[in-house]
Amino acid sequence: MRIDVLTLFPEYLAPLELSLIGKARREGIVDLHVHQLRDFTHDRHRTVDDTPLGGGAGMVMKPEPWAEAFAAVQAAGRAELGEQARPLVVFPNPAGAPFAQATAQEWSGRDWIVFACGRYEGIDERVYEHLADGGVEVALASLGDYVLNGGEVAVLAITEAIVRLVPGVVGNAESLVEESHSEGLLEYPLYTRPASWTDPDGTLREAPEILLSGDHGRIAAWRREQSLARTAQRRPDLLEASERRGDAGAVTKP
């Protein structure tokens, strides 16, 4: 998977060099290219923003640098992946569609993703129109209903969520199956040794007996029950979505 990131703060993406993503890069599973948007300006001040037409507070990102940057990135990506290669262009954006595990699953199968990090109040609308009219697949992704100062932090989160699902990146693929949201439900409670623990307040805390029973059928059933109960309690919206999808074994209302 090739990933390009267009940003005013390349250093923000440095953590992608570390750990999971770093290993994926070293093994050639992920090919990350971070680009400084200001390199696609030509004035002395390397201007990327201006005041909003129609007035209003803050600044808006100018269209010209973006158009030039996307053209350069498309050329570089096609040189590497072939002239037919087409990227998915993702703009982290509070006005975007909610990014969820299902999105990460879907995007983890893509060959090429270009992330565009907005700053200030946002990007001139004509940039999105220019890309869409050029046949480029564009997605606006929201991490949640709050505003960050820019897209970089969102790109770190989205990239980690996607890349960890790419085959070969996480050693034990088994661990990807049973985590929260992978089945549309929250994960069951986890325990490890010691089975019996006296905490610093002197309280004895025992792990559920069933987990020591060795009866894997009953343990699986208990875990499923715990996931459903926990989802019903903390995220009933997920439970309704799961029922609407008719997920295997979804609990239907009695």
Ligand X SMILES: COc1cccc(COC(=O)c2cn[nH]c2)c1
Q: Which residue is nearest to ligand X (CB)?
A: 118
Q: Which of 93, 108, 231, 242 binds ligand X (CB under 6 A)?
A: 93
The vertex-86 CA angle with 85 and 90, nearest 5°, equals 140
> How many chain residues are in contact with ligand X, going by CB under 6 A?
17
* Alpha helix stretches (DSSP H) within the chain: 19-26, 63-81, 101-107, 125-133, 152-163, 174-177, 216-234, 236-245
Nearest approach in angstroms of CB 143 to ligand X is 4
Task: Output Rg (C-alpha) for the chain, integer angstroms.
Answer: 23
Q: Distance between CA 70 and CA 222 in Å, rounded?
A: 51
Stretch that binds ligand X, among 45-53, 88-96, 198-206, 231-239 (CB under 6 A): 88-96
Residue 3 within binding range of ligand X, rule CB under 6 A = no
Draw the binding track, 138-167, toward ligand X (x: CB under 6 A; -: no contact): ----xxx-xxx-xx--x-------------
Q: Distance between CA 164 and CA 115 in Å, rounded?
A: 17
Query: Quick one: how far is CA 1 from the chain centroid?
Result: 15
Draw the binding track, 195-224, toward ligand X (x: CB under 6 A; -: no contact): ------------------------------
Decide if 9 contacts 150 (C-beta within 8 A): yes
Nearest approach in angstroms of CB 26 to ligand X is 29
Nearest approach in angstroms of CB 229 to ligand X is 30
Contacts to ligand X by CB under 6 A: 91-94, 118-119, 122-123, 142-144, 146-148, 150-151, 154
